[in-house]
Amino acid sequence: MAMKNESQSKAKGLEDLFHDGLKDVYYAERKILTALKKMAKGAESDQLTAAFEKHRDETEAQIERLQQVFEIFGKRAQGKTCPAIDGIIEEGQEILEEFKEAPALDAGLVAAAQAVEHYEIARYGTLITWAGLLGLKDAVPLLEETLEEEKATDEALTQLGETSVNERAMQEAA
């Protein structure tokens, strides 16, 4: 009879997935906070700078809410390196560098920021479902509040893209 190794004998469940996802999004939010400062500074339009600064303030509150969720879950708030968000943020940094002072800079920054928002929307939606299943009723509204902010930010970025930055990139490129 083959012996089971340690990882096989202790099966991981939904609690483990939730904790892992929580650490992942905590890491992501902290990385995003730094990226938003750079994007606000690099944006050409005042509207886009203001949008990034507004979301930076929201992100600070989101980090605080995540710390509360860790507490509710009975764990210490800590991040776990997330290659997905690292890659998305790296793409945004490349746009900042490669399109600096170019007509399409803001359009590129909006696209990069929306990639971040879509990642966060997916993560928070999953965490809300899992928190509910795990009976973490006090965590659900905290996560839902953040999810609604992420959706609102995505919508605001869409509006900026449709009403100004994409058009300006086309006109200035022509």
> Is residue 169 in a domain?
yes
Number of domains, the chain: 1
- 8 lies in a domain? no
Does residue 3 have a pLDDT over 60? no
In a domain, 9, yes or no: no
| pLDDT, tens digit, 9 for 90 and up, residues 52-76 | 999 999 999 999 999 999 999 999 9
Q: Does a structural domain hold residue 98? A: yes
- Let me know if residue 113 belongs to a domain: yes
- 46: domain CATH number is 1.20.1260.10
Would you say residue 156 has pLDDT above 70?
A: yes
165 pLDDT tier (thresholds 50, 70, 90): confident
Task: Tell me the residue range of the domain where 99 lies.
Answer: 14-173
- Tokens, residue 68: 């509360």
In a domain, 148, yes or no: yes
Q: Where are the beta strands (DSSP E) in 83-165?
A: none
Q: Specify if 111 maps to a domain.
A: yes
Q: What is the pLDDT, as a whole number, of residue 174?
A: 61
Average pLDDT value for residue range 25-52 = 95
Q: What is the pLDDT of residues 101-140, one digit of tens each?
A: 888 999 999 999 999 999 999 999 999 999 999 999 999 9
> Contact, 48 vs 165, CB < 8 A?
yes
69 by Cβ neighbours in 10 Å (0-12 / 13-18 / 19+) ranks as buried
Grade residue 9 by pLDDT with cuts at 50, 70 and 90: low
Mean pLDDT of the chain: 92
Confidence of residue 172 (pLDDT cuts 50, 70, 90): low
Distance of alpha carbon 35 from its chain centroid, rounded? 10
